[in-house]
Amino acid sequence: MAIFKNSHPLNIPGPLYTDLSCIDCGTCFHLGPSLFQENSDDKSVVIRQPSSLEEWKEAKRAILSCPTNSIGVHEAPDSFKTIDPELPLRIDDNVFYLGFTARESFGATTYFIERPEGNVLIDSPRFHPLLVKELEKRGGIKWMILSHQDDVADHKKFHQHFGCQRVIHADDVNSDTADCEHILEGPGPFELDSELKIITTPGHTKGHVCVNYRNKYLFTGDHLFVDAKNQTLVASESVCWYSWSIQIKSIEKLLSEQFEWVLPGHGGWMNVGLSGGDEKLQFLLNNALC
Ligand code: SF4
Ligand SMILES: [Fe+2]
**How many Å lie between the centroid of ligand 2 and the Cα of residue 248?**
16
Q: Which amino acid residue places its CA nearest to atom 1 of ligand 1?
A: 66
Predicted local confidence at residue 278, as pLDDT:
60
- Which residues, other chains included, contact 4 with Cβ-Cβ below 8 Å and sequence gap of 6+? 17, 19, 72, 74
Any idea which ligand is nearest the CA of 148?
Answer: 2
Predicted local confidence at residue 162, as pLDDT:
98
Residue 157 pLDDT greater than 70, yes or no: yes
Predicted local confidence at residue 280, as pLDDT:
59
Reported as a single tens digit per residue, the pLDDT across 48-85 is: 999 999 999 999 999 999 999 999 999 887 888 899 99
Q: Which amino acid residue places its CA nearest to atom 4 of ligand 1?
A: 25
User: Which amino acids bring their CB within 6 angstroms of ligand 1?
Assistant: 18, 22-28, 44, 66-68, 70-71, 107
Q: How many residues does the chain have?
A: 290
Residue 258 pLDDT greater than 60, yes or no: yes
d(CA 284, CA 193): 29
Predicted local confidence at residue 122, as pLDDT:
98
% of the chain residues with pLDDT over 70: 95
Rg value, the chain, Cα: 19
Q: What is the mean pLDDT of the chain?
A: 93
216 CB neighbour count, 10 Å cutoff: 16
Residue 233 pLDDT greater than 70, yes or no: yes
Q: Which amino acid residue places its CA nearest to atom 8 of ligand 1?
A: 22
Mutate to test the pocket of ligand 1, among 66, 100, 105 (most ligand atoms within 8 A of CB): 66
Ligand 1 atom at minimal distance to the Cα of residue 18: 7
Q: Which amino acid residue places its CA nearest to atom 6 of ligand 1?
A: 28
pLDDT band for position 274 (cuts 50, 70, 90): low
Reported as a single tens digit per residue, the pLDDT across 132-143 is: 999 999 999 999
**How many Å lie between the centroid of ligand 1 and the Cα of residue 46?**
11
| Structural domains of the chain ordered from first start | 4-81 (3.30.70.20), 89-288 (3.60.15.10)
**How many Å lie between the centroid of ligand 1 and the Cα of residue 67?**
7
What would the mean pLDDT of 7-36 be, rounded to a whole number? Answer: 96
Classify the C-alpha dihedral 173-203-98-35 as positive or negative: positive
Residue from 55, 65, 74 nearest 22 by CA: 65
Helix axes 244-253, 279-288, angle to 10 degrees: 170
Reported as a single tens digit per residue, the pLDDT across 164-188 is: 999 999 999 999 999 999 999 999 9
Residue 289 pLDDT greater than 70, yes or no: no
